[in-house]
Amino acid sequence: MSDFSRLWLVRHAPVDGPKGVIHAPEASVDLGDTAVLAALGEKLPHDATVVASPSRRTRETAAALGFDAMLDPDFREQDFGTWTGRRHDDLSRELGPAYDAFWQDAARLAPPGGESFVDQIERVRRGLARLPAGDVVLVVHSGTIRAVLAIALKTSPEAALSFVIDPLSLSQIDRLGSSGWRIVWVNRVVG
């Protein structure tokens, strides 16, 4: 089938920074686990089309895996607007019930100046529509992978947010053209 695509979804390496922060696109990445990077690189097809979000952590993870990735902003992480760069604990103290209310409907609400997860799903849908047939490696973010899962499974955004997507994990999803999608595996940690 000519419109078949095998999507190899790689979550970037861990951010090299404090925990509990909504990290900015240019946050540095920790590429110190060379054994996992090597094992992951061996699992990926090196004749594939490779696409990454424009953030530093995805670009540098792709390079560490031996890829010169094309950059596509439709695959970037959800935009958290004015909350970007802030600690969750600080936001919770500062905003109180309003911050808690956001997390009760995180799929549909947008942080100030940002976008909702529903918005991210539609953006990712546009990016997926442009991908070629064949093997495609996407070096992206946990939210991006959850958005792909929401699309492939035709599930609610809330359900897609329940997936755990670890740093340097691999998910494989096949696009079967007009027949839909097949989930091969999600969140495999290699190595």
- Residue 150 pLDDT: 98
Percent of the chain with pLDDT over 90: 95
- Residue 43 pLDDT: 96
Q: pLDDT tens-digit profile of 57-74?
A: 999 999 999 999 999 999
pLDDT of 191 higher than 80? no
SS (H, E, C) the chain: CCCEEEEEEEECCCECCCCCECCCCCCCECCCCHHHHHHHHHHCCCCCEEEECCCHHHHHHHHHCCCCCEECHHHCCCCCHHHCCCEHHHHHHHHCHHHHHHHHCCCCCCCCCCCCHHHHHHHHHHHHHHCCCEEEEEEECHHHHHHHHHHHHCCCHHHHCCCCCCCCEEEEEEEEHHHCEEEEEEEEECC
First to last CA, the chain: 32
Q: pLDDT tens-digit profile of 13-48?
A: 999 999 999 999 999 999 999 999 999 999 999 999
Which CATH number is 74's domain given?
3.40.50.1240
**C-alpha torsion 88→122→51→158, nearest 10:** 50
* Average pLDDT taken over every residue of the chain: 96
Residue 165 token pair: 């997507």
- Residue 3 pLDDT: 83
pLDDT of 1 higher than 60? no
Range of the domain at 102: 4-189
Q: pLDDT tens-digit profile of 72-101?
A: 999 999 999 999 999 999 999 999 999 999
Question: For the chain, how many structural domains are there in total?
Answer: 1
User: Residue 177 — pLDDT band, cuts 50, 70, 90?
Assistant: confident
- Alpha carbon 2 to its chain's center: 26
Q: Once rounded to an integer, what is the mean pLDDT over residues 170-187? A: 95
Tally of CB atoms within 10 A around 94? 11
pLDDT of 115 higher than 60? yes
List, in sequence order, every residue forming a beta bridge with 139; answer none if it has no partner.
Answer: 10, 52
CA-closest candidate to residue 121, choices 97, 141, 151, 100: 151
